[in-house]
A and B are shown apart, each in its own frame.
Chain A
Amino acid sequence: MSWAFLRDLLSGVNKYSTGIGRIWVAVVFMFRLLVYVAAAENIWKREHDEFECNIKQPGCKNVCFDHFFPVSHIRLWALQLIMVSTPSLLVVFHVAYRENREKQHNQKLYRNPGKIDGGLLYTYLISLILKTGLEIVFLVLFYKLYNGFKIPHLVKCDIKPCPNTVDCYISKPTEKMIFLYFLVATSCLCIVLNLSELSYLIFKYSIKCYLKRHMKKQQ
């Protein structure tokens, strides 16, 4: 079980997406998943070992690290990637349900089970709203937990058993900050893509509805 599983999952979603949805999948693969695995993971790999405090008191380093990093950036990043990819599964499940129904009744109930219309449209819209919501939630979480997207190179810690206020030094703060900004930028890009896909679908189907009604009235 690894990121390859998520990759295969998203490839399945790609089939039932609109054009903008496919661009979203490509952005998630290339700029978020690949960057995470190929670059970001290694930066945070030894963050605890390389976290150094200016004191010999045993336990002080552990306590200070735990205080300043309740959940590591890299774990939040991984959680965000997983949570944001999951709503797309709703669409896959709905299509599978449609195909199952067709098999059970042994007749063609839908013109094309994978086409985004009727109930599947609502599922798709809900998945888009959930994706956008989760992205925003994680960005806010990042901001609140770490007081913005900055990583200081020095933090002052005075929790027991540290005898007094102690200087603790974080490793590679600049590199971590660069990748954090990269994460925020790609998140924002994904939010913009989701919102444009949402407006595109709503616009397209309201025009369709309006035209249908207009034709009915004329008849």
Chain B
Amino acid sequence: MDWGALHTILGGVNKHSTSIGKIWLTVLFIFRIMILVVAAERVWGDEQDDFVCNTLQPGCRNVCYDHFFPISHIRLWALQLIFVSTPALLVAMHVAYRRHEKKRQFRKGDQKCEYKDIEEIRKQRFRIEGSLWWTYTGSIFFRLIFEAVFMYAFYFMYDGFRMPRLMKCNAWPCPNTVDCFVSRPTEKTVFTIFMIAVSSICILLNVAELCYLLTKFFLRRSKKAGNSKQQSNHENKEETKQNEMNELISDSCQNTVIGFSS
């Protein structure tokens, strides 16, 4: 069980996503998860071992490290990636539910069902409309919220995105203010900025996808309204024509009656 399993789960969602959604998934896997696993984990691997404080007092290093890094960058990123990937599961579950319903219809022998066999149902790609649209849009919305929350948490916890070389610590049992040195601060700063940049790109992609879905929704609605107006206009015209004809018929009838009576 690792990131590969997540790839399998989310790969299924890929089929039912928009093009922007597919780009988002690619960016997530290549520029975030892969970078995390292949590079970032090595950079932060020796973070506590090589965190050195200018004192021999036992315990001072542990306490200072804990004070300056309540939760390590690498763990925060891992949590961010897990939380950001979770809303896509909602879409996967909704699609699975729809497939299950269609399979049930097919098994019952419903005439409305237009599939030839179960394989076709399994391979079918559902269009993003109806209730699936709401699930999909909701999942993008939650993704945005999680990304924003984690980026803010990063900024708040580490006072910006820079990793300082030296930290001054005077937590007990350090005898007085002690200099503590972080290992590989420049490399860590570079990776932090990289991950933040890719997060921002993902946020932009999500916003674009949201706008695209909303635009499509409103266009579809106005098309439907336009169609029904055209239909009602057409119906009105037909009604007035029929009314005129009825009047003509009744007039001619009256005339004949009058003619007859007179």
Q: Is B152 among interface residues, defined by CB-CB distance under 8 A? A: no
Q: Mark B66-100, 1 if CB is under 8 A from A, else 0.
A: 10011110110011001001100100010001000
- Which residues of chain A from 10 to 37 have any CB-CB distance to chain B below 8 Å in the complex? 19, 22-23, 26, 29-31, 33-35, 37
Chain A hits for B86, CB < 8 A: 30-31
User: A22-B93, A30-B86, A153-B63 given as contacts; is B71 within 8 A of A174 (CB)?
Assistant: yes
| A4 and B62 within 8 A (CB) | no
- Which residues of chain B from 5 to 57 have any CB-CB distance to chain A below 8 Å in the complex? 5-6, 9, 41, 48-49, 57
Bound form: Cα–Cα A178–B79 in Å: 12
Sorting the interface of chain A by its residue count into under 10, 10 to 19, 20 to 34 or 35 or more gives 35 or more
| B82 and A7 within 8 A (CB) | no
| A167 and B59 within 8 A (CB) | yes
Bound form: Cα–Cα A173–B59 in Å: 12
Q: Is A209 among interface residues, defined by CB-CB distance under 8 A? A: no
| B59 and A171 within 8 A (CB) | no
Closest to A178 in B: B71
| A172 and B65 within 8 A (CB) | yes
Chain A hits for B3, CB < 8 A: 38
| B93 and A38 within 8 A (CB) | no
Sorting the interface of chain B by its residue count into under 10, 10 to 19, 20 to 34 or 35 or more gives 20 to 34
| A175 and B79 within 8 A (CB) | no
| A52 and B173 within 8 A (CB) | no
Q: Is A211 among interface residues, defined by CB-CB distance under 8 A? A: no
Among B62, B65, B79, B173, contact of A39 (Cβ-Cβ < 8 Å): B79
| A171 and B65 within 8 A (CB) | yes
Q: Is A43 among interface residues, defined by CB-CB distance under 8 A? A: yes
Bound form: Cα–Cα A54–B63 in Å: 13
Closest to B62 in A: A169
| B71 and A54 within 8 A (CB) | no
Q: Shortest CB–CB separation between residue B6 and chain A, in angstroms?
A: 7
Q: Is A74 among interface residues, defined by CB-CB distance under 8 A? A: no
| A35 and B48 within 8 A (CB) | no
Bound form: Cα–Cα A37–B79 in Å: 11
| A54 and B78 within 8 A (CB) | no
| B71 and A7 within 8 A (CB) | no
Q: Is B58 among interface residues, defined by CB-CB distance under 8 A? A: yes
| B89 and A30 within 8 A (CB) | yes
Closest to A30 in B: B86
Q: Shortest CB–CB separation between residue B30 and chain A, in angstroms?
A: 17
Chain A hits for B1, CB < 8 A: 2-4, 6-7, 29, 33-34, 37
Q: Shortest CB–CB separation between residue A166 and chain B, in angstroms?
A: 9
Chain B hits for A50, CB < 8 A: 48, 62
Bound form: Cα–Cα A170–B41 in Å: 22
Q: Is B2 among interface residues, defined by CB-CB distance under 8 A? A: yes
Bound form: Cα–Cα A26–B88 in Å: 12
Chain B hits for A39, CB < 8 A: 74-75, 78-79
| B173 and A54 within 8 A (CB) | yes
Bound form: Cα–Cα A168–B65 in Å: 15
Chain B hits for A42, CB < 8 A: 41, 74-75
Closest to A167 in B: B59
User: A2-B1, A6-B1 given as contacts; is B62 within 8 A of A175 (CB)?
Assistant: no
Q: Shortest CB–CB separation between residue A28 and chain B, in angstroms?
A: 10
| A34 and B82 within 8 A (CB) | yes
Among A31, A54, A153, contact of B82 (Cβ-Cβ < 8 Å): A31
Chain B hits for A153, CB < 8 A: 62-63, 66
Q: Is A189 among interface residues, defined by CB-CB distance under 8 A? A: no
* B residues with CB within 8 A of A: 1-3, 5-6, 9, 41, 48-49, 57-59, 61-63, 65-66, 69-72, 74-75, 78-79, 82, 85-86, 89, 93, 97, 173
* A residues with CB within 8 A of B: 2-4, 6-7, 19, 22-23, 26, 29-31, 33-35, 37-39, 42-43, 46, 50, 52-55, 153-154, 167-175, 178-179
**23 A-B pairs in the complex with CB atoms less than 8 angstroms apart:** A4-B1, A4-B5, A6-B1, A22-B93, A23-B93, A29-B5, A30-B86, A34-B82, A38-B2, A43-B72, A46-B48, A50-B62, A154-B63, A167-B59, A167-B173, A169-B58, A172-B48, A172-B66, A174-B70, A174-B71, A175-B70, A175-B72, A179-B75
Q: Which A-B residue pairs are the 5 nearest by beta carbons?
A: A169-B59, A3-B1, A169-B62, A174-B70, A39-B78
Given contacts A3-B1, A38-B78, A153-B66, 10 further A-B contacts (CB under 8 A): A7-B5, A30-B6, A31-B86, A39-B79, A46-B48, A52-B62, A154-B63, A169-B173, A170-B62, A172-B72
